[in-house]
Amino acid sequence: MSQQILLDTPYALVRADATVPCIIVQLRAFANRDQFKEMMNVGLAHYKAQTRPAQRWGWIADTRQMSAIPQEVQQWLAQDWNVQAYQAGLREVSIVTSTNILGRLATQQYAEKAVATPEQYVLTPVYYESLAEAKQQVAQRCAALSAGLAT
């Protein structure tokens, strides 16, 4: 199965796309603290189960419909989730740019925190205007990583 739905709720869709390969987290509406954590943890669990040195997976956050992220969740991302993702092998987070200012501000805050503690981890944020562009670039990056051509 090339696409697998991992979570489908009014606030988010999380799916695994083995053709890229990547996890795609698509925010549909505001997610409270518990909902946001569930969404991210569901995706990360599948990422951990699938990614291998010989077959690297990527991560795409489709934030086009996202609004604000509570500060408490921003801290959780920076201090917990990002560390786990880094330990699982994730080095880059592809972000499809939000269409509203609150979503853009939230992703900017996330991006700043993702590179703020290089002694612990660095998750390089890369921005895209469309999901198709993000998938294409992530596919190329994962192929290069799997072949040992990129670090």
Instruction: Give the tens place of pLDDT for each residue, 99-140.
Output: 988 888 989 988 888 888 888 888 999 999 999 999 999 999
Q: Show the beta-strand stretches assigned E in 1-129.
A: 3-8, 12-17, 22-27, 58-62, 92-96, 124-128
Residue 94 lies in a domain: yes
The CA distances from residue 148 to 1, 17, 55, 81, 142, in Å, are 26, 21, 10, 26, 10
The answer to whether the pTM exceeds 0.85 is yes
Q: What is the CATH number of the domain that holds 86?
A: 3.30.750
Structural domain count, the chain: 1
Residue 75 lies in a domain: yes
Tokens of 86: 């880094």
Cβ atoms of residues 97 and 127 within 8 Å: yes
Please check the confidence at residue 1 and state whether its pLDDT lies above 70. Answer: no
Domain residue limits at 86: 3-146
Please check the confidence at residue 151 and state whether its pLDDT lies above 80. Answer: no
Residue 151 lies in a domain: no
Residue 23 lies in a domain: yes
Instruction: Give the tens place of pLDDT for each residue, 2-58.
Output: 899 999 999 999 999 999 999 999 999 888 999 999 999 999 999 999 999 888 999
Residue 134 lies in a domain: yes
Q: Show the beta-strand stretches assigned E in 9-131.
A: 12-17, 22-27, 58-62, 92-96, 124-128
